[in-house]
């Protein structure tokens, strides 16, 4: 197992058919604001109890570290699973443009009826990326809300 840490990671393994497969990933920082409340089924008191200080009437925000990991067989012609420039483009289209410096609850239609938790954010990012990436390439969406709070979603 070989890992390189810059703004991307690479992990390789040998498949049972002797093919070499790798996961590659890219990190981005995405600044988001949300109101973190369930207006459909919870009272103001219940929202405050469940979401605590994140249920601020003026909203709250984080600089989320978003890690996107894809996997696949190394192409013998290019030596790559995917060109990292292409992965950067997919992330820009599916993550950064629709989300960075936005209010999830007001600027992103998906969250009009979905509570803007980090878990739901991971699902949104997965669903957006899977439409752009080659079939079965997306492996994992990992979001660091803080240094201690991390959500991982693998499409399951």
Domain ranges of the chain: 8-153
- pLDDT above 90 covers a percentage of the chain that reads 60
Tokens describing residue 36: 């973190």
Active-site option among 22, 54, 67, 144:
54
Active-site option among 46, 89, 92, 101:
101
The predicted model gives 26-30 an average pLDDT of: 94
Range 8-153 classified under CATH 2.120.10.30: no
pLDDT for residue 1 is more than 50: no
Exposure string of 18-39, with b = 16+ CB inside 10 Å and e = fewer, is eeeebbbbbbbebebbbbbbbe
Is 101 catalytic? The answer is: yes
Residues 6 or more apart whose Cβ sits within 8 Å of residue 86: none
pTM assigned to the model: 0.84
Residue labelled with tokens 């040998």:
14
- Higher pLDDT: 84 or 35? It is 84
Average pLDDT, the chain: 86
Is 145 catalytic? The answer is: yes
pLDDT at residue 154, as a whole number: 98
């Amino acid at each position: 197992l070989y890992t390189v840490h810059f703004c991307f990671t690479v992990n390789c393994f040998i498949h049972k058919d002797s093919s070499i497969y790798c996961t590659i990933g890219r990190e981005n920082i995405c600044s988001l604001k949300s109101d973190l409340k369930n207006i459909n089924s919870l009272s103001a008191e219940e929202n405050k109890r469940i979401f605590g200080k994140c249920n601020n009437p003026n909203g709250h925000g984080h600089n989320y570290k978003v890690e996107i990991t894809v996997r696949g067989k190394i192409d013998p012609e290019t030596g790559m699973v995917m060109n990292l420039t292409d992965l950067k483009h997919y992330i820009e289209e599916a993550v950064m443009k629709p989300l960075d410096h936005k209010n999830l609850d007001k600027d992103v239609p998906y969250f009009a009826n979905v509570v803007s938790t980090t878990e739901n954010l991971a699902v949104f990012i997965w669903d957006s990326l899977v439409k752009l990436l080659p079939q079965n390439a997306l492996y994992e969406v990992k979001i660091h809300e803080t240094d201690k709070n991390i959500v991982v979603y693998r499409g399951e």
